[in-house]
Structure 1
Amino acid sequence: MTKQLRIAVVGAGYWGPNLARNFSNSPDWELMAICDLDKSRAERLAQQVGGVRVVTDLAELLASDDIDAIAVATPARTHHGIALAALAAGKHVMVEKPLADTGERGRTMVDTAVAEGLVLMADHTYCYTPAVLKIRELVQEGALGDILFIDSVRINLGLIQPDVDVFWDLAPHDLSIIDFVLPGGLKPTTVSAHGADPLGAGKSCVGYLVLPLANGAMAHVHVNWLSPTKIRQMVIGGTKRTLVWDDLNPQQRLSVYDRGVDLGLQALDGVERNAATVSYRLGDTWSPALPEREALGGMAAEFAASIREKRSPRTDGAAGLRVLSVLEAASRSLEGGGSAAAVSSGAELVGELR
């Protein structure tokens, strides 16, 4: 049997319990400790996952020689400091979304991990769901054809966050999914963002993102904290087929429609034009069979595999940087009244693990 890797979860708040439970149940990992400034909260979580030890001092945790990696589930503004301290201590790091609160800090984290020969992984959880893994497979094998548009909706009556707007809270999910399924990742040149704060919360509670994609395609993301109904849906339209992912429909999460529009080129006066030769394709609809398993279990397995194989994980620091670059551009667009803002380039991993 492969020896288990040893991990500690830093942060026992909202997301930490989910990470702790999955690492505790994973055959690849031995959960060693829970670290949180709130000792009583950490103790409650530790008891839920087998009575592992509780630590309130990060430096004490990182000095432990029985820890191979840490999973960070703390506010985004703290990710940079925690990750750099862990990497300096020789620990592999997994960070919940977003990777950091600025692209510059995220870049420092990625550069440091590469320099130290350690794994830095972004916990883009949805990328490990069976549905998104299947979407990636269908897109990359060309089953949908060339991508024409992506339309994503993530709305609910949600918790208004004290430190970030709805874009930074919800859009990382959709952006990370788009980045994961598109060949080459998410690399728009500009982003246009429109936000609204009808409650006077001091930040956008409703938001829309528009991102141009390759070959004239477009992605549109709608995020909303104020909707009384919950919708988790993504539509990916291609030249061959259109895929609909409804994450709240366990009986049929994915539907693939063999329907579309074909435009014929007709030569008029020696010039090729998109003339009136329009035909509509009305074919079958089918739903791929998907296994039911928890995404975080797959994420934990991928984190372990990337460490053992000395490779970048599927959702590596570069993927986290690509998402961050879009979020930062969205913030600049909001400040500019919704005008298109350039997305910074250079969100590529600067080297390979040594």
Structure 2
Amino acid sequence: MTLGIGVVGAGYWGPNLVRNFRSSPDWDLVAVCDLDEAKARRVIGDRSTIEVETSLERLLARDDIDAVAIATPAQTHSPIALAALQAGKHVLVEKPLADSHPVGAQMVQVADQHDLVLMTDHTFCYTPVVQRIGELIADGVLGEILFIDSVRINLGLIQPDVNVFWDLAPHDLSILDYVLPGGLRPVSVGAQGADPLGAGNVCVGYLTMPLPGGAIAHVHVNWLSPTKIRQMVIGGSRQTLVWDDLNPQQRLSLYDRGVDLHSVSADATERARAQVSYRLGDMHAPTLPEREALAIMAGEFAAAINEKRAPRTDGRAGLRVLEVLEAADRSLAEGGALVPVESTVLTTGGAS
């Protein structure tokens, strides 16, 4: 069933949502809502039948709109999403889900109460490469996950209202939540950061997350690097995966290389004397389809609504990312110490 949607926000991310919902066979883009009418009209273009709304209240009162996609500043996500849910609309929210975990949890609860879909636009999770990574891990190709190293650095726009963790790390955290069995559930979080320019927010950050089972994840984010790097290495007991997002010819590589520890003894002294061998096998680069992530995301949003199920990146996925970001803030305040992740347990219900 084709669904009617309105996009709220015609700024940086809004035009991308407009383009993909406009071309999707699952959606009828009814209206674009922005306080700046001229900006909204520029986004939809000339000779368009898509309407422009400057009032959120009027947009939500329309009976030809089943859902809204929110592409506005993070601090406005919650009031807009809650108003939409109260109006009976399904909601897609760009990352992060909200500007705090308690507010995000309220959004999830309201969606559950109204049996509506609340979806987080974790765009990278809908790229063919991340979906393949998830399949490889689920199929046991990598074996037991031992470590994860992720780097996302570039000469980026320094944000006045959030630090580099809140700006860039949601991408890496949402990817880990998508591909790891059971989602992203670190034992604790440690964050170290610096503001060498005196900009008022941390511009360079290092996030360390011990994971259940003894593995560890590390995320490096940076607004000040003159070179752009987007790379993730996931080391497993069988194979190691390298994802280089800036190498379109070979985005994903699998290496049959690693370290084997030949010991079954539980005794620490025996383990220390265990024989270590190095596995030096082949490298394989899987073929990946070329599909736009936002188009896949739009299809998943429609499917979740029509099938009355939770989407792959639902509100709870957004909450798990917020939990880590808030733990990172607490760790920064404590000088980089490892701090526990404070998780709110929500009963399962609704489609969010």
Verify same fold: TM over 0.5.
Answer: yes
**Structure 1 residues 305 and 268: CA distance shift in structure 2, 3 A:** closer
How much has 1:269 moved relative to structure 2? Answer: 9.7
Instruction: Please name the residue that 1:68 is paired with.
Output: 66
- Do residues 168 (structure 1) and 169 (structure 2) align? no
Within a 5 Å distance, the mapping from 1:119-130 to structure 2 comes to 119-130=117-128
Map of 1:310 onto structure 2 = 308
User: Aligned pair in 2 of structure 1 residues 275, 17: CA closer, same or farther (>3 Å)?
Assistant: same
Q: Name the CA shift for 1:163/1:313 in 2 (closer, same or farther; >3 Å).
A: same
Shift of 1:47: 1.4
Distance 1:348 1:181 in 2: 22
Letter in 2 for 1:131: V
**What is the CA–CA distance in structure 2 between the aligned matches of 1:66 and 1:266, rounded to whole Å?**
64
Residues 151 and 234, structure 1, Cα contact 8 Å, conserved in 2: yes
Correspondence 1:59 to 2:52? no
Counterpart residue type for residue 77 of structure 1: Q
Cα displacement string for residues 297-318 of structure 1 (whole angstroms, at most 9, x for unaligned residues): 0000000000000000000001
Amino acid at match of 2:189: V
Say whether the 8 Å CA contact 2:158–2:223 is kept in structure 1.
yes
Q: Secondary structure at the match of 2:308?
A: coil
- Length-normalised TM-score, structure 1: 0.96
For 1:113-124, what aligned pairs fall within 5 Å after superposition? Answer: 113-124=111-122
Question: How far 1:268 sits from its partner (Å)?
Answer: 11
**SS in structure 1 of the partner of residue 343 of structure 2:** coil
The 3-state SS of whatever aligns with 1:132 is helix
Check if 1:246 corresponds to 2:266: no
For residues 221-232 of structure 1, the aligned pairs below 5 Å read 221-232=219-230
In the alignment of these two chains, the number of paired residues is 352
Q: Distance in 2 between the 1:172 and 1:348 partners?
A: 21
Give the letter aligned to residue 143 of structure 2. Answer: G
Separation (CA, whole Å) in 2 of partners of 1:260 and 1:116: 49
CA contact 1:321–1:347 (8 Å) conserved in 2: no
Question: 1:6 and 1:270, CA in 2 relative to 1: closer, same or farther beyond 3 A?
Answer: closer
1:297 aligns with 2:257: no
Counterpart for residue 263 of structure 2: 265
Contact 2:121 2:297 in 1 (8 A): yes
The answer to whether 1:81 aligns with 2:79 is: yes
* Partner AA of 1:344 in structure 2: E
- Specify the alignment match of 2:131 in structure 1: 133
Q: Which amino acid aligns with 1:196?
A: A
Letter in structure 2 aligned against 1:45: V
Aligned ranges for residues 32-51 of structure 1 at < 5 Å? 32-47=30-45, 50-51=48-49
When the two chains are superposed, the root-mean-square deviation of aligned CA atoms in Å is 1.7
The amino acid that maps onto 2:200 is: G
Describe the SS at the equivalent of 1:70.
Answer: strand
Paired letter, 2:83: A
Relative to structure 1, the CA distance from residue 195 to residue 84 in structure 2 (aligned partners, 3 Å threshold; closer, same or farther) is: same
Q: Give the direction of change, closer, same or farther, for the CA distance of 1:267–1:296 in structure 2 (3 Å limit).
A: closer
The 8 Å contact of residues 117 and 350 in structure 2, kept in 1 or not, is answered as no
Match of 1:95 in 2: 93
TM-superposed deviation, 1:274: 3.7
Q: Aligned AA for 1:28?
A: D
Amino acid of the structure 1 residue aligned with 2:136: L
Q: Give secondary structure in 2 for the equivalent of 1:216.
A: coil
Distance 1:234 1:348, change over 3 A: farther
Whether 2:281 is the aligned partner of 1:283: answer yes
Q: Which string of whole-angstrom CA distances, capped at 9 and with x for unpartnered residues, describes residues 119-150 of structure 1? A: 00000000000000000000011000000000
Give the whole-Å Cα distance in 2 for the aligned partners of 1:308 and 1:242. 38
TM-score under structure 2 length normalisation: 0.97
Q: CA deviation at 1:273?
A: 2.3
Q: Find the aligned partners of 1:266 and 1:24 in 2 and give their Cα distance.
A: 58
Partner of 1:183: 181
Structure 1 residue 257, shift from structure 2 partner: 0.2
**Secondary structure of 1:227's partner?**
strand
Letter in 1 for 2:171: H
Q: What is the Cα deviation at residue 350 of structure 1?
A: 3.0
Paired with 1:149 and 1:21, the residues of 2 have a C-alpha distance of 38
Contact 2:116/2:350 (<8 A) preserved: no
Which whole-Å deviations, capped at 9, do the CAs of 1:153-172 have from their partners, x for residues lacking one? 00011111121111000000
1:97 and 1:124 in contact (8 A); partners too: yes
Q: Label 1:274 to 1:13 Cα distance change in 2 as closer, same or farther (>3 A).
A: same
**Inter-partner Cα distance in structure 2 for 1:32 and 1:338:** 47
The offset of 1:266, in angstroms, is 7.0
2:143 to 145, 168, 188: 145
CA gap of 1:97–1:48, structure 2 versus 1, over 3 A, is farther
After alignment, is 273-282 or 322-331 more displaced? 273-282
> For the residues of structure 2 that align with 1:300 and 1:163, how far apart are their CA atoms?
29
Does the CA-based 8 Å contact 1:33-1:46 persist in structure 2? no
Q: Is the 8 A contact 1:71 1:94 kept in 2?
A: yes
The one-letter amino acid paired with 2:139 is: E
In the alignment, the residues of structure 2 paired with residue 72 and residue 101 of structure 1 have an alpha-carbon distance, to the nearest angstrom, of 14
CA-CA distance at 1:252 after TM superposition:
0.5
Q: CA deviation at 1:214?
A: 1.5
Matched, 1:205 2:203: yes
State, as a whole percentage, how many aligned pairs show the same letter: 67
Distance 1:314 1:217 in 2: 24
Per the alignment, in what secondary structure is the counterpart of residue 130 of structure 2? helix
